[in-house]
Amino acid sequence: MGKFVTPQQYFYLPNTVKHYMDTEKKKYDKRLNKLEDELEKLKRGVNNVSEAESCQWGNEDLEDNPDEEPLDMSCFLAVDNASNIVAKGTILMDTNEEEFLRVMLEICLHREALLPVPLEEEFIMEVGDAIGQILSWPRHLVIQCSDLVVLFS
């Protein structure tokens, strides 16, 4: 603040709270009206043919490019053999080359079971202590839930 600058100009304080609230309300009303107009356009559909052609999906597009990964990445985690399930988790990274998968452990079934690959730097050796952690788990001990649905169907 100097010789010719008032505190009102320097800090840009509104004259009254009501004036400030009115200007904010006008801005939000304008934005709301714009969004409502866009929503109305979407409800009415596409206006011209070129837009319609770019938005259409055919069944042949979906059949030519099938998903390689299943959408459901949840899995059961076993220790020692595949029948000894100790936890449930989610597969985070699946590369076909590695013998270990990166999984996040979400639900523990047997707290005292030892992890196949413990996190020694964090002193996590048991399944019960690894909830919420990202772990390396042997591929042959990870059973995807989507595979179980196919087996029991």
Q: How far apart are CA 76 and CA 89, in angstroms?
A: 6
pLDDT value of position 54: 52
pLDDT value of position 49: 45
DSSP β-bridge partners for residue 78: 85
123 and 92, same domain (yes or no): yes
Is residue 68 assigned to a domain? Answer: no
Is residue 61 assigned to a domain? Answer: no
78 and 131, same domain (yes or no): yes
41 and 94, same domain (yes or no): no
30 against 42, higher pLDDT: 30
φ/ψ (deg, to 5) at 99 = -90, -5
Is residue 60 assigned to a domain? Answer: no
pLDDT value of position 119: 87
pLDDT value of position 69: 52
- Helix, strand, coil shares of the chain, percent, nearest 5, are 40, 25, 35
3-state secondary structure of 116: strand
Question: pLDDT tens for residues 101-131?
Answer: 889 999 999 899 999 988 888 888 999 999 8
> Containing domain of residue 81, as a range?
74-152
82 and 147, same domain (yes or no): yes
Largest CA distance in the chain: 84
pLDDT value of position 8: 66
